[in-house]
Amino acid sequence: MKKARILVVDDDEFFRVLCSDILTSAGYEVVVASCGAEAVNIVESESLDVVITDLVMPDMSGLDVLQRTKQNNALVDVIVITGFGSIETAIEALKSGAVDYIRKPFNGAEILHTVSACLEKKKLLEENFDMKQSLRLYEITRVIISTLDINKFYHVAIEALLQTVEADAGISIMYASDNKTLDIMAVKHLNAEVAAQLVEYLKSKHEAELRALNTVMIVPLSDFSEEMRRVLGLTQTMLVVPIMKAGHPAGFLALLSGSRIFGQRDSVNASFIAEHVSQAYDVALQYTEAKETAFIDSLTNLYNSKYLDIVLEKEMKRADRHMMPLTVLFIDIDDFKQINDRNDHLVGSKVLVEFGKVMLKFVREVDTVIRYGGDEYVVILVDAEHEVSMKVAERIREGIEHTRFLAEDGMDIRITASIGVATYPTHSRDRAELLRIADKAMYHAKEESKNIVYLAPVPGPAKLPQQ
């Protein structure tokens, strides 16, 4: 068990030595100071548990030593000794933060009892603080672990760290898919431009350390360039926490502090949070993958019909917010049954896969291609009025018509498709009705001649009944 470290301050050598001998014989580690100035120097440079100081000294009073001790570390307890001073001075010391007082002349039993009681109280308070801190950390980690949405995760993670470690600002940054670029995922109490400069600085100056980081890293202000010091202003230090995946950092949480310097307790608490953040990140990724798999067609690897309502509702809301249209293409392969009849179902399945790939060539990344079922597909074109969408649909139709399907298998299968077109909000503002109109337009194309694009009739102004 670690010995308590006690500083004894008294200008009277007899009482200083007597007090030191009593405490040393009881197993305490004792440091002595013969004046207030010497005591303050020890308080500010060394680790202490208790300070025992005389109240009346020539250069600096015991009240001054008490004040300077509490300013440096409020957790260090101070016991004052009064002999020549009045009891009122001792009471003033208690009001200023002293835990107890002893009157000269004192005996060994009295001073040991006072010190023992002080340390026992300190221990109970620390245990209580640790218990409260543990409960608080537990509640914080529960929030992290329960966050399954990967986009919310980055915000929850940095907020959790800010709740655990006292800091002024924080950012979540993750390696992009190229495993080189660091993307900012969430920012708290920090200007976006400053956050970008900070990430760039970390990337350029601490690349090797970040790549190998598997524990909390504290970056002192002295490590920052003059330019970054100017940008960050009053920042004193930075704490970097790795988000681990498969033994390697997938990203980082970084905290900045201008009012204090991060210490050992901060590192311990941050490490605890880091472990749970990494676990939560892995769970959120698995959940995201599982969720996406539920909306992915197992044959073509395109989105499936379950995803259609979700994405269409989302895009319709976005269209409303930005006051822009979107168009639905309903596509059906012409005479697909004949492909299965002439070949086999394996060939038919391969055609469906390649058909999806052909369509993807003619749409943008922001657009969505869905296998609706069987040989039917739906394409959602965002920010596209029906005139533009007709041109896109025609390019898809031509691309399908001119593709030699399964050429890599030595086959030459030729197919065509019929496409129906309906636009939001021109044709309808209702999701189900918009799909029905596009579907009906596709069947009209089939009935007319197949291998064509058909735009659903655009509603005109209502006609007044004739008199």
Please tell me whether residue 52 adopts helix, strand or coil conformation. strand
Pairing relationship of beta strands 376-382 and 417-424 according to DSSP bridges: unpaired
Q: Please report whether residue 24 resides in a domain.
A: yes
Distance, in Å, from the CA atom of 64 to the CA atom of 66, rounded to the nearest integer, reads: 5
Domain that holds residue 151: 146-292
Domain match, 259 and 170 both: yes
Task: Report the pLDDT value the prediction gives residue 6, as an integer from 0 to 100.
Answer: 94
Identify the helix (H) or strand (E) that includes residue 379: strand 376-382
pLDDT band at 440 (very low <50, low <70, confident <90, very high): very high
Arithmetic mean of pLDDT, 309-324: 89
**Among 265, 292, 319, which residue terminates a domain?**
292
Q: Quick: pLDDT tens for 189-203.
A: 888 888 888 888 888
Q: Taking 60 as the threshold, does the pLDDT of residue 85 lie above it?
A: no
Q: Quick: pLDDT tens for 364-399.
A: 888 999 999 999 999 999 999 999 999 999 999 999
Q: Quick: pLDDT tens for 339-350.
A: 888 888 889 999
Using the structure block, give the residue that is written with the tokens 């055609």. 351
Number of compact structural domains in the chain: 3
Q: Which residues fall within 8 angstroms of residue 2, CB to CB, at 6 or more apart?
A: none
Determine if the pTM surpasses 0.85: no
Q: Please report whether residue 134 resides in a domain.
A: no
Domain match, 286 and 417 both: no
Distance, in Å, from the CA atom of 386 to the CA atom of 253, rounded to the nearest integer, reads: 46
Q: Quick one: tokens of 249?
A: 């950092």
Domain match, 201 and 120 both: no
Task: Report the pLDDT value the prediction gives residue 287, as an integer from 0 to 100.
Answer: 83
pLDDT band at 23 (very low <50, low <70, confident <90, very high): very high
Domain match, 337 and 407 both: yes
- Partnered with residue 182 across adjacent β-strands are 175
Q: Please report whether residue 404 resides in a domain.
A: yes
Domain match, 439 and 321 both: yes
Q: Quick one: tokens of 391?
A: 């041109």
**CATH assignment of the domain containing 422:** 3.30.70.270
**CATH assignment of the domain containing 214:** 3.30.450.40
Task: Report the pLDDT value the prediction gives residue 465, as an integer from 0 to 100.
Answer: 42
